[in-house]
Amino acid sequence: MQIITTHRNTDFDGFASVIAGTIIYPDAIPILPKALNPNVKAFLSIHKDLFGTRTVNEIDLTHVKRLIVVDTCKWSRLEKMKSLRENKNLEIFLWDHHENKSDLNPIWICQERIGANITLMIREIKKQKILLTPMQATLFLTGLYEDTGNLSFPSSTAEDAYAAGYLLENKADLNILSTFLQPAYGEKQKNILFEMLKTARRTKIDSYAVSINIMQIAGHISNLSLVVNMYRDILNVDAAFGIFVHKDHEKCIVIGRSSVEDINVGSIMRSMGGGGHPGAGSAMIKSVNPSALNDWLLELLKGNQQSSVLISDLMSYPVFSVTSDTSMSDVADVLKEKGCTGLPIVDGEKLVGVISRRDFKKIRKSSQLQSPVKAFMNTRNITIDPGKSPMEAARIMVKYDIGRLPVVKDDKIIGIMSRSDAMLYFYDLLPD
Ligand SMILES: [Mn+2]
């Protein structure tokens, strides 16, 4: 068995490097420490099953033949790996961008002083011409930006910048990235926010409160999206848009934030030539009159309401299910055969529980594999109605920390909404 892991209090660079490792070493199992930094934790709460990471408790360390360590070079920073240190036959591979001397005694090493560890691994991924998904590219860029302070820290190198370019080419999504990185709110941002608040106006569009604000700005100002977000919060409107006019560059940047599913900022921004996801997005428009932009936005907002995507468009079906008297070992076979991470338990036509791979951890002795699934299943039965929105599904998944939601209509289960189904929507991968 090969495992790949990183340091405790894992940051995005460490986490991204672990996932990049699973691309470079397809047989390696990604192991994450329990102690994660808060940004990574928030990211994982909605992306968890998509990366298949495990904790050290879920594997048997005595079977490990190769340990791949990324973004650190010290035993002391690894979580619960002490027993491996005694193993004289263990092969250790090391990828690290810190200049400290390693005590891991690796047989293979790639250690260079560079802005982010992920940059080293992207070098290899590029060399092997491996294709990245937008989600992987987004995660890798988040790691790269976090460790290089958006390429502004003195430790950043040209190769980090090229790697960032490569990830953008591979469709890394800056809107998603900025939701997970702690954004910077400084003096410039504060002044703009105060100016915006002084001139704030709200309008009603259908039943929603919306505010559009036109602001003149000079020079480059970072994190305007954060300003718009705070502006929306303070005004307490459902959606807010800032039209930022760069006089000297003859361009306008439109940034939008929405907290209601009926106002899909991503699709509005796409109509303006930009992009984003349902809650946040932006567009840049050259040589245009800002008040014309204001009118255009209003028109798009009025026409935006009808085309929202529903759970019934995204859910997977038919639903594979088992009855509550099925043995755990049979359940394990079904999960393996169908390649899914969980199953609803249905008696007659009624949903009585849900079993997931995680529940198998409750098994202490092998005889329990013959027990019926009802002894181990989760009976909270959190479900969703097919007429609800993907945003609502994501909220429920994060709140209850579950990756699969049974879709129930008239007491009958008609589909399953998984994290990956929701992600297809958030990453805009749906066919038009
Ligand atoms: Mn790092």
Q: Residue 284 has what pLDDT?
A: 87
> DSSP string spanning 265-298?
HHHHHHHTT-EEETTEEEEEEES--HHHHHHHHH
Q: Per mean pLDDT, which range of 15-29, 86-100, 110-124 is the poorest? A: 86-100
Q: Is the pLDDT of residue 104 over 80?
A: yes
CB of 65 closer than 8 Å to CB of 3: no
Distance 268 CA to ligand 1 centre (A): 36
Q: Residue 260 has what pLDDT?
A: 86
Q: Residue 431 has what pLDDT?
A: 44
Q: Per mean pLDDT, which range of 162-171, 184-193, 306-315 is the poorest? A: 306-315
CB of 37 closer than 8 Å to CB of 6: no
Parallel/antiparallel/unpaired status of strands 251-258 and 239-246:
antiparallel
Integer Cα distance of 325 and 380 in angstroms: 18
Distance 104 CA to ligand 1 centre (A): 17
Q: What is the mean pLDDT of residues 296-320?
A: 78
Distance 32 CA to ligand 1 centre (A): 15
Distance 164 CA to ligand 1 centre (A): 15
Q: Please list all protein residues whose beta carbon sits less than 5 angstroms from ligand 1, which is an ion.
A: 13, 71, 117, 147
Domains of the chain with CATH codes:
2-180 (3.90.1640.10), 187-307 (3.10.310.30), 313-426 (3.10.580.10)
Helices (H), 369-418: 390-400
pLDDT digits (tens, 9 = 90+) for 125-139: 999 999 999 999 999
Cβ partners under 8 Å of residue 27, min gap 6: 2
Q: Residue 111 has what pLDDT?
A: 94
Distance 170 CA to ligand 1 centre (A): 21
Distance 118 CA to ligand 1 centre (A): 8
pTM for this predicted structure: 0.54
With cut-offs at 50, 70 and 90, classify the pLDDT of residue 306: very low
Distance 19 CA to ligand 1 centre (A): 14
Distance 337 CA to ligand 1 centre (A): 38
pLDDT digits (tens, 9 = 90+) for 237-269: 999 999 999 877 688 999 999 988 788 888 888
Cβ partners under 8 Å of residue 313, min gap 6: none
Q: Residue 207 has what pLDDT?
A: 87
pLDDT digits (tens, 9 = 90+) for 201-227: 999 998 899 999 999 998 778 778 889
Q: What is the mean pLDDT of residues 182-204?
A: 86
Distance 397 CA to ligand 1 centre (A): 29
Within 10 A of 77 (CB to CB), how many other CB atoms are there?
18
Share of the chain above pLDDT 70, in %: 96
Distance 18 CA to ligand 1 centre (A): 11
Q: What is the mean pLDDT of residues 85-108?
A: 92
Distance 10 CA to ligand 1 centre (A): 9
Q: What is the mean pLDDT of residues 188-199?
A: 93
Integer Cα distance of 202 and 232 in angstroms: 11
Integer Cα distance of 243 and 217 in angstroms: 10
Distance 108 CA to ligand 1 centre (A): 19
CB of 345 closer than 8 Å to CB of 353: yes
Distance 117 CA to ligand 1 centre (A): 5
- End-to-end CA, the chain: 42
Distance 290 CA to ligand 1 centre (A): 42
Q: Specify burial of residue 204 (Cβ count, 10 A radius: 0-12, 13-18, 19+).
A: exposed
Q: Residue 272 has what pLDDT?
A: 85
Q: Residue 249 has what pLDDT?
A: 67
Q: Is the pLDDT of residue 391 over 50?
A: yes
Integer Cα distance of 250 and 289 in angstroms: 9
With cut-offs at 50, 70 and 90, classify the pLDDT of residue 325: very high
pLDDT digits (tens, 9 = 90+) for 361-384: 888 888 889 999 999 999 988 999
The mean of the pLDDT values for the chain is 88
Rounded to 5°, angle at Cα 324 from 322 and 329: 70
CB of 275 closer than 8 Å to CB of 266: yes
Distance 107 CA to ligand 1 centre (A): 21
Q: Residue 49 has what pLDDT?
A: 73
Q: What is the mean pLDDT of residues 82-110?
A: 92
Q: Is the pLDDT of residue 77 over 70?
A: yes
Integer Cα distance of 419 and 45 in angstroms: 10
With cut-offs at 50, 70 and 90, classify the pLDDT of residue 304: low
